[in-house]
Copies of this chain bind each other. A is one copy, B any other.
Amino acid sequence: MSDVYAARRDLLRDRCAAAGNAAALISRPANVRYLSGASPLGAVLLVGPAEDVLFCTGAPTGEADEGRLDDGLRISVLPAPGSDPAVAAADMAAAVRADSLAVEEHHLTVGRHRALRSVAPALRLADLGSAVEQQRLVKDEQEIACLRIAAEIADQALGELLESILVGRTERHLALELERRLVDHGADGPAFPTSVGTGPHSGRSRHRPSDRRVEEGDFLTVSLGANYRGYRCEIGRTFVIGTTPADWQIQLYDLVFAAQRAGREALLPGAAYRDVDHAARSVLDSAGHGEALAPSTGHGVGLEIDEDPQLAPTAMGKLDACVPVTVEPGVHLPGRGGVRIDDTLVVRPEADGGPELLTITTKELLAL
């Protein structure tokens, strides 16, 4: 496993060198974790011309899996409280006579950037851009295995909830119960704050659970995910409470289901991000729901719950195999509620059977 991190750093080192930069300073936590297997709070990673060093302010316990760090990665624990690991890294880069250091300008603050310049004035600071994020886009099979387990855990937690009594319970308690079940089944934690929306709140994206109680006749939308070894999946389902769904509920459900299926079916290597979005969006659009739709109908997942690619009308780029994404169209009718259906899938070539569905809970409209 430790070779994986060293290989990732070697790839980044080569790309840096090709861009004329002797060293790179990684500060975005998910990027630090991707390249080192560890991300203690506030740690930064110096990928140097020769040696790589993880700078942190405390011993790398907690999030860090210390065993993973013995792949030639040196750990430097700063003794003084309040010292900035990024400054220490720039200091070291200057000391080994690197002439240029690429930093993550989309993560590093102006204040820290200034501090780097002042500690190492001879060092030219360049922009690494999203080089590491691009490296993270296509997942290896070990990463996909983690996502698969994360999805299994989410399916299990959701399945158990469906067997319990729901009427009369609040959104807040259902969300907490789901998060407890995620951990019960082996998650390191929820992948993101669990969302439960009932009645008029159903169908809203990232609705924050309130004290509203589940009532007969409600739509109930649940969105949850597990974090397993840092990898995060997402599943969203909408149910109806009571015996028989109303006609409008069946119609709306069928519509969103059709949109979500169209999105899933568009997931193939080489498909443009915007075309996948269009496949799902156009179904809802032509039924008159275009105005109120979310800006994207899906996104990448991995060490972060919302990473590249974005499946959106203006997104540039094409899907590769082994890219995990969500497909999650939804419609919310103000005052009435709505439907959202969300899966995590991995893009696979048609020869391999097409997209691999990780979240396998049924998408039939269940009346609970």
Residues of A whose CB lies within 8 Å of any CB of B are 62-63, 81-82, 103, 105-114, 127, 172-173, 176, 179-180, 183, 206-208, 295-296, 310, 312, 314
User: Of residues A109, A183, A208, which shows the largest number of chain B Cβ atoms within 10 Å of its Cβ?
Assistant: A109
The smallest C-beta distance from A197 to any residue of chain B, in angstroms, reads 12
CB of A81 within 8 A of CB of B295, answer yes
The smallest C-beta distance from A327 to any residue of chain B, in angstroms, reads 17
Residue of B82, B105, B179, B208 near A62 (CB, 8 A) is: B208
Known A109-B109, A111-B105, A314-B82: A62·B183 in contact at CB below 8 Å: no
CB of B105 within 8 A of CB of A106, answer no
CB of B108 within 8 A of CB of A62, answer no
Report the separation of the CA atoms of residues A247 and B62 in the bound assembly, to the nearest whole angstrom: 30
Report the separation of the CA atoms of residues A82 and B172 in the bound assembly, to the nearest whole angstrom: 30
Closest chain B residue, CB of each to CB of A62: B208
Report the separation of the CA atoms of residues A180 and B176 in the bound assembly, to the nearest whole angstrom: 6
Point out the residues of chain B lying under 8 angstroms from A208, CB to CB. Answer: 62-63
Report the separation of the CA atoms of residues A111 and B207 in the bound assembly, to the nearest whole angstrom: 30
Report the separation of the CA atoms of residues A176 and B296 in the bound assembly, to the nearest whole angstrom: 33
Point out the residues of chain B lying under 8 angstroms from A206, CB to CB. Answer: 62
Report the separation of the CA atoms of residues A179 and B182 in the bound assembly, to the nearest whole angstrom: 14
Point out the residues of chain B lying under 8 angstroms from A314, CB to CB. Answer: 81-82
Residue of B63, B105, B310 near A110 (CB, 8 A) is: B105
Known A206-B62, A314-B82: A109·B114 in contact at CB below 8 Å: no
6 pairs, A vs B, C-beta closer than 8 Å:
A82-B310, A105-B110, A105-B114, A106-B112, A110-B113, A180-B180
Point out the residues of chain B lying under 8 angstroms from A179, CB to CB. Answer: 176
The smallest C-beta distance from A76 to any residue of chain B, in angstroms, reads 16
Q: A81-B314, A110-B110 are in contact. List 7 more A-B contacts (CB 8 A).
A: A81-B296, A81-B312, A109-B109, A109-B110, A111-B127, A176-B180, A180-B180
Point out the residues of chain B lying under 8 angstroms from A173, CB to CB. Answer: 183
Report the separation of the CA atoms of residues A312 and B206 in the bound assembly, to the nearest whole angstrom: 39
Closest chain B residue, CB of each to CB of A170: B183
Closest chain B residue, CB of each to CB of A83: B295
Known A81-B296, A180-B180: A109·B108 in contact at CB below 8 Å: yes
CB of B183 within 8 A of CB of A176, answer yes
Report the separation of the CA atoms of residues A208 and B113 in the bound assembly, to the nearest whole angstrom: 31
Point out the residues of chain B lying under 8 angstroms from A112, CB to CB. Answer: 106
